Amino acid sequence: MRETKFRAWINDTMFYFDIPSSQHYRWDKNKLMQYTGLKDKNGKEIYEGDIVKEHPNKHVGEIKSHDTFLHFFVDWNSDYPDWSWSEMAYDHMSRIEVIDNIYENPELIK
Residue-number span of the structural domain to which 20 is assigned: 5-109
Look at residue 66 in the predicted model and tell me its pLDDT: 75
Q: pLDDT band for position 1 (50/70/90)? A: low
Total domains in the fold of the chain? 1
The CA distances from residue 37 to 56, 76, 80, in Å, are: 23, 20, 24
CATH number at residue 82: 2.30.30.290
- Indicate left, alpha or beta for 71 from its phi (over 0: left) and psi (-120 to 50: alpha): beta
Kindly tell me if the per-residue pLDDT of 49 is higher than 80.
Answer: yes
Strand pairing class (5-10; 45-47): unpaired
Letter string b/e over residues 84-93, b meaning 16 or more CB atoms within 10 A of that residue's CB: ebeebeeebe
Kindly tell me if the per-residue pLDDT of 42 is higher than 90.
Answer: yes
